Amino acid sequence: MTHRQFLETGVARLEYRLTRPAHSTGPVLVLLHEGLGSLDLWKDFPAQLAEAGAAPVLAYSRQGYGRSSPIALPRSLDYLGVDGPDELARLLDGLGLEQVVLVGHSDGASIALAYAARQDPRVSGVVVLAPHVDVEPASVEGVRRTVRAYARGDLRKRLHAYHDDNLDGAFRGWSETWLNPAFAAWSLYRELPCIQVPLLAIQGYEDEFATPAQLETIARNVAGPCRTVMLEHCRHFPQNQARPRVLALIAEFLATLPG
């Protein structure tokens, strides 16, 4: 396991960490965090995933999160479909990664799907946890609850350790975008049919930010092979709330990839 490192992309300075198990084969698993996430908020998941999947795992903080460069507000209303994938391309280029599997959670899952639709030959598969492909009422209400918790101060206090000076910008950039009435029109409907690589989509039945319709829409529209799994007793963070099952599912998925 390496220490925290930084990559200058020409647009931003991004923090990242590459975890390598003792015996690793295959592509690098690239983790894309959720709308309030960061490199450090993955905690010990990257290390456990590296061991379960016998593969290197790269985690990073997108611009405006963690210890990466700050970002100007307001965010673009298409930050999931354009800005996030553009930044991911710069990361892959900057680190010289030749073969990857994208593993995204929530907002990061949406970015992973949007990037897979670009058909970059370096991407051999995609895993999405609690993905969003459109804006549901459940998503908006979940954001509103989170805004109330942040205003009370308890959530803000917990998140400060992971974002430092980026905290308010990260929170506002996420919450104000999702609560913007114009964002209701956002979707990945055009991108999904362009996804040809194998896909594993995982969601909890008790997800407080989305309904099972998200996985149904993905399975119905992607062009490549797709497996969807709904998990019992799991909410919006499958990698934490159902970790043993998620690790096993990802390891099984990796074993099915060509090469």
0.85 exceeded by pTM: yes
Using one digit for the tens of pLDDT, what is the confidence trace for 177-223?
A: 999 999 999 999 999 999 999 999 999 999 999 999 999 999 999 99
**Structure tokens of 23?**
């015996």
Using one digit for the tens of pLDDT, what is the confidence trace for 141-188?
A: 999 999 999 999 889 999 999 999 999 999 999 999 999 999 999 999
CA 72-77-78 angle, 5° bins:
105
Q: Beta 57-60 vs 13-19: how paired, if at all?
A: antiparallel
Q: Beta 100-105 vs 57-60: how paired, if at all?
A: unpaired
Using one digit for the tens of pLDDT, what is the confidence trace for 73-84?
A: 999 999 999 999
**Structure tokens of 222?**
């992607």
Q: Which helix (H) or strand (E) holds 141?
A: helix 137-152
How many residues does this entry show for the chain? 259
Q: Quick check: 246 and 227 in contact, CB under 8 A?
A: no
C-alpha neighbours within 13 Å on the C-beta side of residue 196: 6
CA-only gyration radius of the chain, Å: 17
SS3 102: strand
